[in-house]
């Protein structure tokens, strides 16, 4: 058996920097454009109850699960899963890495759109038809889904800039790149969004919007779909289950208060979602009043909210350009810090596997990702690719991958008690056996339920009405390919110098010694 000394590894300079980076990863586009709409359509104010239950019973426990795997085994997901188990269990680490690879490829496009809309806000470039402008003038979306290589320079150029910046930040490493980017951007994001919300709640009609958002529909609590939506929102918004938190926590010092830090990250993420809900629905209330529409007409989520509804709001008020700049600027900052974390997972995994330096591994990963991204996204069919890939990778990549990893660690490798002792040993808050039940039983049951529902829905109704061949390639095919490649990578040998097996007792003793200092 090997010594417990695992490897020399970069570390975050302090706990607070790690917390900012973790918040930067968790707070992303989903907090701003997904949560408000999900809450509104799933019981409004009553949604708070399943949302809180989901946060405490699955979100935060799963966050600790990721933290503990990364922290104990000090490596990106593949090596962490190898050290926690055997060669086959590495598959589940690579699965998460490949999910990040796919998401990174299309995420750059959304970042580019948000950046362009930041500038469009000053001229209200969409005129009086934001939907027509988005699909026609800006994205030049082709009439039929497929793959075309008709490039759209207005998307390609900002995407290229986004990739250059992401690669530059990651190549600088954990301390000089990732930490600094988050330390600057997260406080800025918070300030910008606070100003936006203060502006929003003073708009005429804001109270009506907030009324629609917070009025509870108590009957919704009896609907299992609402509870599934709450668990789904918490799961997707916390950045758990796809390797990011495992990777970031692998850069923590051994003596780090994992649970204490995790509680701050979990509540900061949900706190920001609430702020976003208030800001978005206050402005939608204004739009409702300005256009004489009902909330059902103006409420939207995702791309529809950001790039169609919000531009309409910007055009409807005299201080619209400032409102637009704050909104799209917030999207850019939230998206950029999340994208750094997504690409970092792949870089860290390759760095572990090949033993390359930081700059080399960043280029080995970043350049091919950027190339694929630049070939598929800034084209007239890019929106179709993004829509299908995003839907399938979320459901059959993140969700299925997380479900599989939890089941493997809890029920096949039976490592949960060991991980529970680890997180309790280094933390100021101990959850003991309760955590075992939540991660070992509640999380797989809930994730499994959502997953089975998704599979049934997708089989019964082709997603988005797309042709089956297109869904077969970019949806089902891509989801399956991710698993196949994960298996191949898992059975690719490690360098001889890489420690793939650890003596858990010796590792426990080492942590005891460090905690006693």
Partner 1 sequence: MTATAIIMMGTAMVTLWGGLGAAITHLARTPEVIVDEDDD
Footprint on this chain of partner 1 (rule: CB under 8 A): 5-9, 11, 14-15, 44-46, 48, 52, 207, 210-211, 213-216, 253-257, 260-261, 263-264, 266-268, 270-271, 273-274, 278, 428-429, 514, 517
**Shortest spacing between CB 298 and partner 1, in angstroms:** 18
Contact criterion met (CB below 8 Å) for 381 and 146: yes
Nearer to partner 1, 57 or 394 (CB): 57
The DSSP string of 475-510 is IIIHHHHHHHHHHHHHTSPPPTTS-----HHHHHHH
Nearer to partner 1, 76 or 167 (CB): 76
Give, in order, the Cα–Cα distances in Å from 285 to each of 296, 302, 324, 325, 399: 11, 18, 16, 19, 34
**Shortest spacing between CB 263 and partner 1, in angstroms:** 4
**CA 423 to CA 81: how far, in whole Å?**
17
Contact criterion met (CB below 8 Å) for 289 and 204: yes
**Shortest spacing between CB 457 and partner 1, in angstroms:** 29
Tokens for 233? 């929102």
**Shortest spacing between CB 10 and partner 1, in angstroms:** 9
Give, in order, the Cα–Cα distances in Å from 326 to each of 113, 268, 449: 15, 20, 38
- Number of Cβ within 10 Å of residue 215's Cβ equals 12
The DSSP string of 321-336 is HHHHHHHHHHHHHHHH
Nearer to partner 1, 18 or 333 (CB): 18
**Shortest spacing between CB 259 and partner 1, in angstroms:** 10
- Number of Cβ within 10 Å of residue 461's Cβ equals 9
Tokens for 171? 């190549």
Nearer to partner 1, 5 or 414 (CB): 5
Nearer to partner 1, 10 or 129 (CB): 10
Q: Which H or E run includes 403?
A: helix 400-407
**Shortest spacing between CB 198 and partner 1, in angstroms:** 15
Nearer to partner 1, 147 or 190 (CB): 190
**Shortest spacing between CB 17 and partner 1, in angstroms:** 11
**Shortest spacing between CB 316 and partner 1, in angstroms:** 21
**Shortest spacing between CB 517 and partner 1, in angstroms:** 4
Tokens for 421? 């002792």
381-410 in b/e form (b: 16+ CB < 10 A) is bbbbbbbbbbbbbbbbbbbbbbbbbbbbbb
Nearer to partner 1, 209 or 232 (CB): 209
Nearer to partner 1, 459 or 516 (CB): 516
79-106 in b/e form (b: 16+ CB < 10 A) is bbbbbbbeeebbbbbbbbbbbbbbbbbb
3-state secondary structure of 427: coil
Nearer to partner 1, 60 or 69 (CB): 60
């Amino acid at each position: 058996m090997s010594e417990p000394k695992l490897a020399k590894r970069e570390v975050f300079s302090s706990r607070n920097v790690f917390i900012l980076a973790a918040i930067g990863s968790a707070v992303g586009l989903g907090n701003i454009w997904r949560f408000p709409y999900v809450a509104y359509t799933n019981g409004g104010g009553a949604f708070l109850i399943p949302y809180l239950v989901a946060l405490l019973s699955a979100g935060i426990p799963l966050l600790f699960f990721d933290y503990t795997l990364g922290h104990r085994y000090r490596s990106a997901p593949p090596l962490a899963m190898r050290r926690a188990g055997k060669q086959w269990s590495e598959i589940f680490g690579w699965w998460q890495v490949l999910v990040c690879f796919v998401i990174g490829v299309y995420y750059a496009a959304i970042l580019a759109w948000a950046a362009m809309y930041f500038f469009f806000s000053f001229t209200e470039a969409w005129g009086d038809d934001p939907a027509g402008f988005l699909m026609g003038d800006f994205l030049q979306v082709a009439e039929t889904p497929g793959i075309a290589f008709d490039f759209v320079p207005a998307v390609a150029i900002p995407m290229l800039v986004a990739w250059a910046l992401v690669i530059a930040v990651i190549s600088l490493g954990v301390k000089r790149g990732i930490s600094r980017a988050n330390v600057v951007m997260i406080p800025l994001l918070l300030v910008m969004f606070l100003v936006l919300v203060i502006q929003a709640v003073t708009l005429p009609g804001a109270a009506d919007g907030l009324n629609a958002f917070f009025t509870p529909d108590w009957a919704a609590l009896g609907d299992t779909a609402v509870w599934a939506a709450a668990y789904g929102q918490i799961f997707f918004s916390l950045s758990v289950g796809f390797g990011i938190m495992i990777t970031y926590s692998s850069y923590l010092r051994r003596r780090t208060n994992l649970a204490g830090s995790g509680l701050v990250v979990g509540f900061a993420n949900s706190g920001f979602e609430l702020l976003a809900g208030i800001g978005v629905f206050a402005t939608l209330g204004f739009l409702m009043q300005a256009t004489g529409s009902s909330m059902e007409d103006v409420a939207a989520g995702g791309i529809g909210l950001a790039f169609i509804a919000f531009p309409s709001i910007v055009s409807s008020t005299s201080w619209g350009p400032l409102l637009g700049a704050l909104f799209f600027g917030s999207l850019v900052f939230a998206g950029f810090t999340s994208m750094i974390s997504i690409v970092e997972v792949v870089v860290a995994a390759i760095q572990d596997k090949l033993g390359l330096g930081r700059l080399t591994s960043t280029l080995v990963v970043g350049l091919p990702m950027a190339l694929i991204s630049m070939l598929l996204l800034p084209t007239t069919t890019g929106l179709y690719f993004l829509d299908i890939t995003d839907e399938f990778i979320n459901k059959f990549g993140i969700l299925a991958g997380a479900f599989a990893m939890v089941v493997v660690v809890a029920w096949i490798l039976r490592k949960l008690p060991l991980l529970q002792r680890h997180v309790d040993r280094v933390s100021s808050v101990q959850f003991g056996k309760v955590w075992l039940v939540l991660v070992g039983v509640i999380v797989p049951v809930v994730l499994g339920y959502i997953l089975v529902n998704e599979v049934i829905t997708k089989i019964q109704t082709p997603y988005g009405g797309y042709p089956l061949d297109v869904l077969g390639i970019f949806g089902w095919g891509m989801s399956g390919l991710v698993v196949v490649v994960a298996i191949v990578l898992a059975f690719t040998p490690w360098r001889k110098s890489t420690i793939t097996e650890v003596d858990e007792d010796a590792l426990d003793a080492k942590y005891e010694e460090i905690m006693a200092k």
